[in-house]
Amino acid sequence: MSDIKKVVLAYSGGLDTSIILRWLQETYQCEVVTFTADLGQGEELEPARAKAQQMGIKEIYIEDLREEFVRDYVFPMFRANTVYEGEYLLGTSIARPLIAKRLVEIANETGADAISHGATGKGNDQVRFELGAYALKPGIQVIAPWREWDLLSREKLMTYAKNNDIPVDFAKQGTKSPYSMDANLLHISYEGGILENPWTEAEEEMWRWSVSPEQAPEQPTYIELTYEKGDIVAIDGERLKPHEVLSKLNKLGGENGIGRLDLVENRYVGMKSRGCYETPGGTIMLKAHRAIESITLDREVAHLKDELMPKYAEIIYNGYWWSPERQMMQQMIDESQKVVNGVVRLKLYKGNVIVAGRQSPDSLFDESIATFEDDAGAYDQKDAAGFIKLNALRLRIAANKGRGQL
Amino acid sequence: MSDIKKVVLAYSGGLDTSIILRWLQETYQCEVVTFTADLGQGEELEPARAKAQQMGIKEIYIEDLREEFVRDYVFPMFRANTVYEGEYLLGTSIARPLIAKRLVEIANETGADAISHGATGKGNDQVRFELGAYALKPGIQVIAPWREWDLLSREKLMTYAKNNDIPVDFAKQGTKSPYSMDANLLHISYEGGILENPWTEAEEEMWRWSVSPEQAPEQPTYIELTYEKGDIVAIDGERLKPHEVLSKLNKLGGENGIGRLDLVENRYVGMKSRGCYETPGGTIMLKAHRAIESITLDREVAHLKDELMPKYAEIIYNGYWWSPERQMMQQMIDESQKVVNGVVRLKLYKGNVIVAGRQSPDSLFDESIATFEDDAGAYDQKDAAGFIKLNALRLRIAANKGRGQL
Amino acid sequence: MSDIKKVVLAYSGGLDTSIILRWLQETYQCEVVTFTADLGQGEELEPARAKAQQMGIKEIYIEDLREEFVRDYVFPMFRANTVYEGEYLLGTSIARPLIAKRLVEIANETGADAISHGATGKGNDQVRFELGAYALKPGIQVIAPWREWDLLSREKLMTYAKNNDIPVDFAKQGTKSPYSMDANLLHISYEGGILENPWTEAEEEMWRWSVSPEQAPEQPTYIELTYEKGDIVAIDGERLKPHEVLSKLNKLGGENGIGRLDLVENRYVGMKSRGCYETPGGTIMLKAHRAIESITLDREVAHLKDELMPKYAEIIYNGYWWSPERQMMQQMIDESQKVVNGVVRLKLYKGNVIVAGRQSPDSLFDESIATFEDDAGAYDQKDAAGFIKLNALRLRIAANKGRGQL
Amino acid sequence: MSDIKKVVLAYSGGLDTSIILRWLQETYQCEVVTFTADLGQGEELEPARAKAQQMGIKEIYIEDLREEFVRDYVFPMFRANTVYEGEYLLGTSIARPLIAKRLVEIANETGADAISHGATGKGNDQVRFELGAYALKPGIQVIAPWREWDLLSREKLMTYAKNNDIPVDFAKQGTKSPYSMDANLLHISYEGGILENPWTEAEEEMWRWSVSPEQAPEQPTYIELTYEKGDIVAIDGERLKPHEVLSKLNKLGGENGIGRLDLVENRYVGMKSRGCYETPGGTIMLKAHRAIESITLDREVAHLKDELMPKYAEIIYNGYWWSPERQMMQQMIDESQKVVNGVVRLKLYKGNVIVAGRQSPDSLFDESIATFEDDAGAYDQKDAAGFIKLNALRLRIAANKGRGQL
């Protein structure tokens, strides 16, 4: 056992992190500082305070980080149309760097020499927490109880709770979700249980934020999203803060059956894993952002962004938000967004996000050139002959030299 | 006027290419060979034969290319999850290389020294036809009437038709679509008309293959797609040829309101253009292919494919199907698909394509490792500590040297 | 002939651009403004003034752009370790954007409606000049005489000169280089003549700036280059302006037989072309920049730069300096260079540039960790076991499922 | 201690691996199989046999793998012009996969359940050995003594040797190189000692295979290399096997002072490390391969290879030779090399490798088009106008909309 004096714990107030809290006290004989954040997961935080006090904690941090979360993490990520493996909107991945940052900052404030979290040794979250912490405070110690203790079954955990006076809400336990879940303003994720078989369809009752497309209203909902520098700043003309934007889009999306996703992904630690995700607002934002970019971005800028996006997504998924390579790419992405201003009109209907219109003071769409009608000389069609001839030149030379393509 | 003796014309039998036919005869005083292909556009071809005969054509090629089209062009492209600019499924782009190839082959067979097509000087299709033709037969001459003549308004065209005894189906003209359209087994595209304003929503009556999500059935349709080497070979257990697969998926998708797309894209010739696309079967195939790859592909192979996809899509969109770089990439893509075998179960419902299950004899999903339950030692969670420590090392050294990330 | 009133000509004072000057006057009946720049090509500019005056030019621009050239074009490019097709240091490509910019600025100042240049229709330079001009002033007209006139042989040019009272320095003509050359502070290029056969070795007498390695001194020269933010600011401790740095390195390199290059490159217009290049200072800078980056850049930042470099080089080679995609990439590159500070010690000897040492206040090289000796616990070798195990996991799962690698 | 019965040891016959041999016998009480390979490191192997016998080994594998090494590892890698971090030719990296493969094959033959190697816990080689072994035989156990034992100083090692009757050649010890070295047909590497300070220049006496440029002959050496499908098959017309090619080029290069390299690289385990490398033949091959590709490869194929090369190099450097992503890339690379045939003429002189000529039956260099002289209509310069106009279109539209580039 290394000589830890004080540890900052990412504490949800739930049973698992309460057990961790006690286990840290017992095992390391150290003081514990709890940190509980509101990232929009939709749970009250005050019970966490009471529970921490009850377990003898003196330094308790409870914070509403929703605005910072969306403004400094979610929005920058969406500027890149970021999708991991073609589908996943990175809802869990993007929350971890903020938590890592706050853990380190609180360690600095309270003079703690370690941090601790409740992520298991099989998942990506341990990596994301710890890479962030090490990058921000290289001398920090990290305690990951799931990699250290032997409480590896639910039975052992319950016994430990009982033996250590940890309050268990047995009523709640009985109705406990069979899934391993994570939630924040961007999404809820579900793993485990019957999902461990990729051939099994998710049950309707699993989903929490959205109705099914079947149960969504028969009438579509139209909305208008206003963009400034790649971020949504207003919905239907009403100016909103970043987290208010996402909250409202979650509500609109959820009501219209939008944003459910069921996939098998490749974890950074080397295994495939099945996950279901509910990302109503994010699903709307991705579609809308591409629409506003489609009229405002230069072609080559857009293509360069598309080519780099998979790497950017991988960097975030793998936990390297706090890295020089992510910051370097962000610089480039943000640079591209200066002109991404305008309005996107969307139709939401039973799971569908349909672009119904886009306009922008920075539009590069030039009707006078694109028209099928007479363009009054704006574009000289004869130019195309030379364009094609020179682009074909290398192919013709090759064919002449006997390099058939057939 | 260069000295053309015989020209092979990509002939649809419609008014525009009939005018071109006559214009070629008049202008170049040359023989014309017509080539009309069934690529699944859903029009009868025999009227084209009659019309060509009526205009004095002796060499008339009418061919059903549907199987070749899907097998050798559409399917290879879908192996790469190909999407241009994040959304467009390349329905028009992928048909052009086959037409270019047949034009050249027919020129070889008939001793023609030129080919001709009806694509305008503003679009991508002229590029795709001509790059293909030059790559396959570098000495071929290309006549692109829209870049040469002065019949640049509909009025002038109609006058020319009248003056040159070209049969105009005035009944049909009256009901003519206000859109510039292109169709084949993969999609229908719509451009022009009111679509030239990107803020205007497409009219419901424009769409031809699909019902709207609103009008789709209240009951979902479940289907199972069987993959071999990345291609669908059976639907619900029934073995089908490639074009039969796509036909059936078009029907299933169209009935369920799937595959409509409305976007602004960047043309190779340098302008932005608004297009609407209807790709029912392709939309299903893209989703399903990602699902079967998600359990069968190695992570790094999948990520490499994702990083290269935008370039591959650009190559096809820009008309470089018949190029060494496309063939080189195809080699790599096809190599990756050897293990992409198995079954995907989908739920189709009112515009949604939802993955309900995937299984494969080549699955890399390992339940015994991924499980949240006891894994009997299959994975040693302690390994993660070293994994994270070494991945963090460069970040820690940098932070120690004062390179803060904040 | 379009109605041109005044044209700004990139004028060297040589025979060819003098003929162009007169041809513009004759053909377009327009006023000509001459623009002659010192980019370090090593020729006096005043004779160009005299000659222009003699031909009746009233607005004559003669400018020393050496500092701007190196500071704003050469140095930014070298921050990316830019090399086209693995070898070419882009000496010609990087000068064109500056000339294009000044042509446009002078057109604005003088109210000219066109620009003109002496680049042929086969090369890259026409593209670079014109893309730049169009990007900076989209309504500008461009006159490229080599694409318009019929003076396509040297004989016709000489006759035209004679018939139009253009002074020909016949003495100079007799000794004229058989090569098509271009020179600026970064390099001299040679094309044409016997170089048109790629099997023929360049003649020793062709090279102008450097001695051959054989003729270089028997004693090596050691120098120290000081970097700030990726740029060289001092040589052997002496602080110099950007163009002074490059001048001095050219001298040092040239004396030591450094920087000759003989290659076949792929032009943007579609053909292969043989070129010889003499880039003494640039060759030194490339080697030194990599050396200073090797101790100051983070690994992933360095690798990302390496992956993007070929595209960045292509952008510059093809003439897209004045494009949003280049500016976007530059942003990222420059961001990475904040920490590229320090000193590189080099040994120059008979064509070789050898790194003899590098040091930096921003070095990430950590001797205490890298050492083969006892590191006092700075690095725990046991961490490597977990690192390898998890990195191997996907490979092991695949092998277990029968996916042999052999 | 896991229950190991038999282990295959990568055994050099030197002191360190002899100590490992004994340590394995003592610690695991298991049988040891020794495997000693000739990869061209230039040491006799029979002493290793004698020493192994002396230490009681019954199963001794001694193999000449030079041909396989160059044919199946070195040559395929050079087809991609592979360079790590702009400079390193991967001499050590490329040998590890072959050793890993043989260790696994011998384990299969001898029924061994483990393999062992002498690489330390700080370096890349442990990763390369072990990733290879796990990929090829996922259930194999790996014993890495340097990560397990406490013999972490030279003193402790010597004591262990003395106490365990391991023959130490004290004469040799006294003259032992102060560097950690690795050698095979492709290179020798040097690390440690005074090299641990990146500001210190390497000593002349360190280098073993090459003379310094200063000591190289005053007369250049010309050679001609014949390529087939991207590999060298003959030198000066003499047909040679792959390892004979590399041997001969090492001799030629070494005599002419070619192939020394001094750099700081980024290890996969997260630290920077200083290394000096001597790669005479490889340095020649890289230059020559680019030269033959320059006339035979299509432009876009060449550029695609250049864009992917850094990733391919990283894959090999990091130890993922035996991975599906490397095999997938190799497929593409090899496909591109079908046309890489011809002859390259080189001048070797005092550290310089100078291309003096290249020719090929598959050359795409077309003198009739590239010429500065009259091309008899092979290329229509007017085509360039349209080419430039359309390529500029997006830039002009943007500028017209107020997106200045200045």
Q: Do B405 and A136 touch (CB under 8 A)?
A: yes
> Angle between the C324-336 and A299-318 helix axes, to the nearest 10 degrees?
30
Q: Do C379 and B393 touch (CB under 8 A)?
A: yes
The residues facing B344 across adjacent strands are B225, B358
Q: Is the dihedral of CA D67, D68, D69, D75 positive or negative?
A: positive
pLDDT at D2 over 70: no
Q: Do C387 and B391 touch (CB under 8 A)?
A: yes
D329 touches D372 (CB < 8 A): no
pLDDT of residue D1: 54
Q: Which residue has the tokens 């040794």?
A: A121
CB of D138 within 8 Å of a chain A CB? The answer is: no
- Binding annotation of A for L-citrulline: 88, 93, 124, 128, 180, 189, 265, 277
pLDDT of residue C148: 95
CB of C383 within 8 Å of a chain B CB? The answer is: yes
How far apart are alpha carbons B37 and B13 in whole angstroms?
Answer: 11
SS3 state at A292: helix
φ, ψ of residue D153 to 5 degrees: the values are: -125, 160
Find the mean pLDDT for residues D211-224.
98
Q: What type of residue is D32?
A: V
CA of A190 vs chain B CAs: smallest distance (Å): 12
Q: Which residues contact A322 (CB under 8 A, 6 or more apart)?
A: A97, A100, A101, A131, A132, A135, A136, B395, B405
Find the mean pLDDT for residues B8-34.
96
Residue limits of CATH 3.90.1260.10 in chain D: 183-297+340-359
* Helix (H) or strand (E) run with residue C163 in it: helix C154-163
Per-residue H/E/C for B285-354: HHHHHHHHHHHHCCHHHHHHHHHHHHHHHHHHHHCCCCCHHHHHHHHHHHHHHHHCCEEEEEEEECCEEE
Q: Indicate which residue of A96, A102, A326, A358 is catalytic.
A: A96
CA of C299 vs chain A CAs: smallest distance (Å): 9
CATH 3.90.1260.10 fits C183-297+340-359, yes or no: yes
CB of B367 within 8 Å of a chain C CB? The answer is: no
Sheet holding C352-359, edge to edge: C238-239, C231-235, C221-228, C342-349, C352-359
CB of D155 within 8 Å of a chain C CB? The answer is: no
pLDDT of residue A174: 60
- Given pLDDT bands bounded at 50, 70 and 90, which one contains residue B171? low
pLDDT at D338 over 70: yes
Nearest to C386 among B363, B366, B385 (CB): B385
pLDDT of residue A2: 67
B366 contacts in chain C (CB < 8 Å):
397, 400-401
Nearest to A134 among B310, B356, B395 (CB): B395
CB atoms within 10 A of CB D244: 15
How far apart are alpha carbons B105 and C31 in whole angstroms?
Answer: 54
DSSP D106-139: HHHHHT-SEEE----TTSSHHHHHHHHHHHH-TT
| Helix, strand and coil in chain D, % to nearest 5 | 45, 20, 35
C221 touches C348 (CB < 8 A): yes
CB of B272 within 8 Å of a chain C CB? The answer is: no
pLDDT of residue A236: 98
Mutation target for C interface from D199, D265, D326: give the one with most C CBs within 10 A: D199
B243-268 core/surface letters (b: 16 or more CB in 10 A; e: else): bebbbbbbebbbbbbbbbbbbbbbbb
Residue limits of CATH 3.40.50.620 in chain C: 6-65+89-176
Residue of chain A nearest D362, judged by CA positions: A401
Q: Do D335 and B331 touch (CB under 8 A)?
A: yes
CB of D380 within 8 Å of a chain A CB? The answer is: yes
CA of A121 vs chain D CAs: smallest distance (Å): 20
How far apart are alpha carbons B369 and C54 in whole angstroms?
Answer: 86
Residue B96 catalytic?
Answer: yes
CA of A123 vs chain D CAs: smallest distance (Å): 21
CB of D328 within 8 Å of a chain B CB? The answer is: yes
Q: Do B323 and D332 touch (CB under 8 A)?
A: no
Q: Which CATH number fits domain D6-65+89-176: 3.90.1150.10, 1.20.120.530, 3.40.50.620, 2.40.100.10?
A: 3.40.50.620
Find the mean pLDDT for residues C204-212.
96
Q: Do C335 and A327 touch (CB under 8 A)?
A: yes
Find the mean pLDDT for residues B198-203.
97
Nearest to C393 among A269, A336, A390 (CB): A269
Summary count for chain B: helices (H), strands (E): 15, 14
- Given pLDDT bands bounded at 50, 70 and 90, which one contains residue C112? very high
Q: Do A320 and C300 touch (CB under 8 A)?
A: yes
Nearest to D147 among C86, C381, C399 (CB): C381
Q: What is the mean pLDDT of chain C?
A: 95
- How much of chain B exceeds pLDDT 70, in percent? 97
Q: List all residues of chain A from 88 to 107 with a beta carbon under 8 Å from chain B.
A: 101
- Given pLDDT bands bounded at 50, 70 and 90, which one contains residue B369? confident
Residue of chain C nearest B397, judged by CA positions: C364
pLDDT at C307 over 70: yes
Q: Indicate which residue of B22, B96, B260, B326 is catalytic.
A: B96
pLDDT of residue D234: 98
CB atoms within 10 A of CB D55: 18
- Given pLDDT bands bounded at 50, 70 and 90, which one contains residue D169? confident
C116 touches C144 (CB < 8 A): yes
Regarding pTM above 0.90, the answer is: yes
pLDDT of residue D361: 97
pLDDT of residue B348: 98
- Given pLDDT bands bounded at 50, 70 and 90, which one contains residue C172? low
pLDDT of residue D36: 98
- Given pLDDT bands bounded at 50, 70 and 90, which one contains residue D369? confident
Nearest to C266 among D213, D299, D347 (CB): D299
Q: Do C265 and D294 touch (CB under 8 A)?
A: yes
B377 contacts in chain A (CB < 8 Å):
none
- Given pLDDT bands bounded at 50, 70 and 90, which one contains residue D375? confident
CB of B311 within 8 Å of a chain A CB? The answer is: yes
CB of D298 within 8 Å of a chain B CB? The answer is: yes
Closest CA to C357 of B327, D220, D194, D145: D194
Q: Do B328 and D391 touch (CB under 8 A)?
A: no
pLDDT of residue C368: 84
A393 contacts in chain D (CB < 8 Å):
369, 379
Query: Could you report the per-residue pLDDT of C210-268, keeping only the tens digit for each?
Result: 999 999 999 999 999 999 999 999 999 999 999 999 999 999 999 999 999 999 999 99
The residues facing B116 across adjacent strands are B9, B143
* Helix (H) or strand (E) run with residue B273 in it: strand B272-278
C379 contacts in chain B (CB < 8 Å):
393
Mutation target for A interface from B264, B266, B296, B382: give the one with most A CBs within 10 A: B264
Helices of type H across C178-268: 242-255
User: Which is more confidently placed, D2 or C54?
Assistant: C54
Residue of chain D nearest A299, judged by CA positions: D394
How far apart are alpha carbons B238 and B223 in whole angstroms?
Answer: 11
Size of interface A-C (CB pairs under 8 A): 72
Which residues of C are catalytic, by number?
Answer: 16, 96, 125, 180
A377 touches A283 (CB < 8 A): no
CB of B378 within 8 Å of a chain C CB? The answer is: no
pLDDT of residue D333: 98
pLDDT at B375 over 80: no
- How much of chain D exceeds pLDDT 70, in percent? 98
pLDDT of residue C173: 62
Query: Could you report the per-residue pLDDT of C332-373, keeping only the tens digit for each?
Result: 999 999 999 999 999 999 999 999 999 999 999 988 887 767
pLDDT of residue D177: 79
pLDDT of residue B174: 60
CA of D391 vs chain A CAs: smallest distance (Å): 8
Q: Which residues contact B348 (CB under 8 A, 6 or more apart)?
A: B220, B221, B222, B223, B252, B253, B256, B258, B284, B354
pLDDT means per 10 residues, chain A with 406 residues, are 89 95 96 98 92 96 98 98 98 98 98 97 97 96 95 88 84 73 97 95 96 98 98 98 98 98 98 97 98 98 98 98 97 97 98 98 90 76 95 94 82
How far apart are alpha carbons B156 and B153 in whole angstroms?
Answer: 5
Report the range out of A104-118, C173-187, D153-167 with the highest average pLDDT.
Answer: A104-118
How far apart are alpha carbons D226 and C212 in whole angstroms?
Answer: 27
Find the mean pLDDT for residues B359-378.
84
C17 is in an annotated binding site: yes
Q: What is the ipTM of this complex?
A: 0.96
Least confident of A115-129, A146-160, B55-69, D285-299: A146-160
C18 is in an annotated binding site: yes
CB of A364 within 8 Å of a chain D CB? The answer is: yes
- Given pLDDT bands bounded at 50, 70 and 90, which one contains residue C1? low
How far apart are alpha carbons B371 and B271 in whole angstroms?
Answer: 51
φ, ψ of residue B248 to 5 degrees: the values are: -65, -40
Q: Do C380 and B403 touch (CB under 8 A)?
A: no
pLDDT at C2 over 70: no
Residue B116 catalytic?
Answer: no
